[in-house]
Amino acid sequence: MSRLQKQPILYQNELKVPEKYLRFATPEVVAVYRADRLKCKKLVEIGAGIGGQTIAFSKICKEVLAIESNKDSSKVLIQNLKKLNIKNVEVLVADALLKTTVEKIKKFQPDIIFCDTERPEKAERTLENIKPPIKKILEIFSEITSKIAIEIPPFTNTEKLEIKKTSTSCRDAGVVKNPQEVPNYEKEFISVNQQLNRLTLYFNELKQDDVSAVALPSGEKIRGTNFASTNYSHLGREGGINERNYKFLYLIDPTIILANLVNEISNKFNSQILELNKPILLSDKIIKSDFLTGYKILATCKNEQKEILQNLKKINAKKVELRYNINPKDYWKIRNFYENQLEGNKEISLFIDEKNNEAILCEKMN
C-alpha cells in the first residue's frame, strides 16, 4: 500500500496550524462526510484534538461538547474555534472517563457521542492498546445514549469486540427457530483518493450495514453483510475464467480488500476475481468506480521474457512498470532488460499470473 498522503483539514490556510499537530488531524473531506452522517442537535466529541472534526460538527449540529485531555491540543482547539468565531462548541479539558466528566456529559444530554481514540505509536494496534478502551466507552456512555460512534486505527483487529444481539429468522408459537448472532455495530472503512484513511464503528441505531467502504470525495459506497468473508466466490479459472477472454483489468482499492468486500464489488460490477499477488477484477466492460483503477489489456502471453519482449514490441511499448511480486534488488534489472530493447511510445504495466504462467500487458486508462 502506498504511503498515506496528507490531506488538508477544514480552514487549514486560515488557521495556520503548526505542522506537528496535523499528523493525526481529521482531513476536511472525512470530517464533512462524517459530520453529515452524525448530524443531530447535541453531540459530544471525545478526543477532539485540534478540532479538525469538531469544526465540521459545529456546522451541522446545534450544540457540541468537545472533550480533549491533552492540554497542548486543547489550546490549539480553543484558538481555532476563536479564529473562526465558532460559538456553539464548548471545550472541556479533561479525561472523558472521569466521574466529573461523565456527569458533565449526562447533564449535556447528547443525542450522539463520537469518540476518536488514541493511535498507539509503536505498540501493536489491538483493541487492548486503544485508549480510551472501547468496551469502557460503551459501558459508561451507553447509559447516556445508545448512539455511539468510535474511530479506531484502520488495521485494528476487532474480532475480540464481541458485542452482539440476537436476531431470528422465524418464530413459531414463541419458540425461536434458527437464531443467528449478528453484530450490532457497523465497520465503516473510509478511503480518500484510493488510500485507506479511517475506520469508524457505528453502534446500535447508527448502524446502517454490517461492514461498508466509502470512497471520498465522491461518496461511493460498497456494502456487505455479516462481516463479509475473505473467500472469493469467483476466484481463479473456475467457470472459464481466463484473462485472455477479457478486455479490462482493474486494481482494487486496498480499502475494499481490508474490509473483505471483494466479492461485493465483483458482484456489483458483474466482474470476475483473479488472484495475482492480490485480488484484481477482470471485465469485458469499462467500469467507472472510485474504488477501481482501470487498465486496458493489450496482450497476453506465456510468462517468459522472450515472449513478453516480443509482445511489448508488438504493442509499441517504451516503458514497462512491473506490477507483480519481485525482489526489489531485481526490479530495475528486469525492467531495464525490457526497456533497453524498446523503441515505442507507450507506458505498459506488466502483471503476472504465476499460478497459470501468464503475463498480462496492460495500458492504464485515464
Average pLDDT over residues 254-283: 96
Of the listed ranges 176-180, 206-210, 274-278, the one predicted with least confidence: 176-180
Of the listed ranges 82-96, 181-195, 291-305, the one predicted with least confidence: 181-195
pLDDT at 1 over 60: no
Measured distance CA(366)–CA(360) in Å, rounded: 19
51 contact partners, CB below 8 Å, separation of at least 6: 66, 76, 77, 80, 81
Percentage of the chain beyond pLDDT 70 is: 86
Q: Which of 224, 256, 282 is the last residue of a domain?
A: 224
Model pLDDT, residue 166? 43
The reply to whether 2 falls in a domain is no
Q: What global pTM score does this model have? A: 0.87
Q: Which of 169, 194, 224 is the last residue of a domain?
A: 224
Tell me: do 192 and 255 sit in the same domain.
no
**Phi-psi domain of 273 (left: phi exceeds 0; alpha: psi -120 through 50; beta: other):** beta
The reply to whether 231 falls in a domain is no
Of the listed ranges 202-206, 208-212, 228-232, 327-331, the one predicted with least confidence: 228-232
Model pLDDT, residue 121? 65
Tell me: do 41 and 168 sit in the same domain.
yes
Helix (H, G, I), strand (E, B) or coil at 63: strand
The reply to whether 20 falls in a domain is yes
Measured distance CA(248)–CA(360) in Å, rounded: 10
Model pLDDT, residue 225? 84
Tell me: do 155 and 252 sit in the same domain.
no
Range of the domain at 147: 12-224
Tell me: do 249 and 218 sit in the same domain.
no
Model pLDDT, residue 183? 54
Hey, what amino acid is at 196? Answer: L
Measured distance CA(282)–CA(297) in Å, rounded: 10
CATH classification at residue 40 = 3.40.50.150
pLDDT at 250 over 70: yes
Tell me: do 63 and 170 sit in the same domain.
yes
**Residue 363 pLDDT grade (very low, low, confident, very high; cuts 50, 70, 90):** very high
Tell me: do 98 and 201 sit in the same domain.
yes
**Residue 171 pLDDT grade (very low, low, confident, very high; cuts 50, 70, 90):** very low
Of 6-10, 135-139, 146-150, highest mean pLDDT: 146-150
Strand order across the 272-275 sheet: 272-275, 279-283, 248-252, 292-302, 358-364, 346-353, 317-322
Of the listed ranges 8-17, 147-156, 174-183, 249-258, the one predicted with least confidence: 174-183
CB atoms within 10 A of CB 5: 10
Mean pLDDT of the chain: 88
Domain count of the chain?
2
Measured distance CA(46)–CA(49) in Å, rounded: 9
Measured distance CA(357)–CA(366) in Å, rounded: 28
Average pLDDT over residues 83-112: 97
Strand order across the 112-116 sheet: 89-92, 63-67, 42-46, 112-116, 148-152, 195-203, 185-192, 211-216, 220-224
Model pLDDT, residue 163? 53
Residue scoring higher pLDDT (214 or 236): 214
Measured distance CA(73)–CA(79) in Å, rounded: 10
Percentage of the chain beyond pLDDT 90 is: 73
pLDDT at 268 over 70: yes
Model pLDDT, residue 22? 86
Tell me: do 248 and 170 sit in the same domain.
no
The reply to whether 171 falls in a domain is yes
Tell me: do 128 and 187 sit in the same domain.
yes
Average pLDDT over residues 139-159: 91
The reply to whether 6 falls in a domain is no
Tell me: do 17 and 84 sit in the same domain.
yes
Model pLDDT, residue 182? 46
The reply to whether 77 falls in a domain is yes
Q: Output b/e per residue, 13-43; b: 16+ Cβ within 10 A.
A: eebebeeebbeebbbbbbbbbbbebbebeeb
Tell me: do 69 and 176 sit in the same domain.
yes
CB atoms within 10 A of CB 131: 13
Q: Cell digits for 241?
A: 475464467
Instruction: Quick: pLDDT tens for 64-78.
Output: 999 999 999 999 999
Helix (H, G, I), strand (E, B) or coil at 239: helix
Tell me: do 205 and 348 sit in the same domain.
no
Average pLDDT over residues 255-281: 95
Tell me: do 265 and 308 sit in the same domain.
yes
Q: Which of 190, 224, 258 is the last residue of a domain?
A: 224
Model pLDDT, residue 245? 87
pLDDT at 290 over 70: yes
36 contact partners, CB below 8 Å, separation of at least 6: 60
CATH classification at residue 325 = 3.30.2130
